[in-house]
Amino acid sequence: MFGEYMFSQLADRYPIFIEQENTLRGFLKSVDEVIHVEVRKLYENPNLPSFNCIDTDDQTLLMEYRSPRQLCILAEGLIRGAAQHYKTAITLEHPRCMHKGHDHCDLIIRFKA
């Protein structure tokens, strides 16, 4: 729930980051390559996670999450908050997790038609 709230606050404070994309998929794919680049310009050493996005098919996006802070649950909430913002129905799975000994988390987002 905190991640969902946090997304709404970020969208209110920094709409320029959100308005660059008009779909949830586009936004999620822009986080590491666009938004985090801009955040690094604003803050010194922001300690951001990294995401690698892989389109597995037309309805599925795999986000590989890496962070020494292991805030994958917050990332889940932010994704859910973004889905609400973009009015996009999703399901979210988290089968691979750093808290279970993996080197990264897999966040699988399925876009419902």
Euclidean distance between CA atoms 62 and 111, whole angstroms: 11
Which domains, ranges and CATH numbers included, belong to the chain? 2-111 (3.90.1520.10)
pLDDT, tens only, 36-70: 777 777 778 777 899 999 999 999 999 999 999 99
pTM of the model: 0.89
* Range ranked top by mean pLDDT from 15-24, 46-55, 94-103: 94-103
- The contacts of residue 70 (CB under 8 Å, 6+ apart) are 98, 99
| Residue in this structure with the two tokens 């996670």, named with its chain if needed | 49
Residue 83's pLDDT is what? Answer: 97
Mean pLDDT for the chain overall:
92
